[in-house]
Amino acid sequence: MTIEEQVTDYFDKLDHPLKHLVDELRSIILATDPEVGEQIKWNSPSFYYKGAMKPFDPKEYKRDIIVINLHKRTLCCSSSQPAQR
């Protein structure tokens, strides 16, 4: 399965209360620059820089831009409100 097929399959099967928000974020992130790619990493949608990079210290290699962890299915809230599940 190609990376594109994996991403499409992931979003087609995603059952999460914030799916609509993740879809909107995905659209915004991908529209920012054609050098932003997406993949499924750690079973989560992630976005990375796919353009050419100048050589540098490999210990400081940072290509991922955003990884969205959806595993706990918890909504964030302020301390004055209880978390929703």
Question: Per-residue pLDDT averaged across 60-70, rounded?
Answer: 70
Under the banding of pLDDT at 50, 70 and 90, the label for residue 28 is very high
- Which helix (H) or strand (E) covers residue 37, if one does? strand 36-41
Q: How many domains does the chain have?
A: 1
Q: Is 24 a member of any domain? A: yes
pLDDT at 30: 92
Q: Is 48 a member of any domain? A: yes
Q: Is 21 a member of any domain? A: yes
Q: Is 77 a member of any domain? A: no
Q: Is 74 a member of any domain? A: no
Q: Which of 48, 49, 40 is nearest to 69 (CA)?
A: 40
DSSP-derived 3-state class of residue 35: coil
pLDDT at 85: 45
- Residues of the domain holding 24: 3-67
pLDDT at 83: 45
Question: pTM to 2 decimals?
Answer: 0.67
Q: Is 76 a member of any domain? A: no
Q: Is 78 a member of any domain? A: no
Mean pLDDT in the chain? 78
Residue 65: half-sphere exposure toward Cβ, Cα within 13 Å: 16
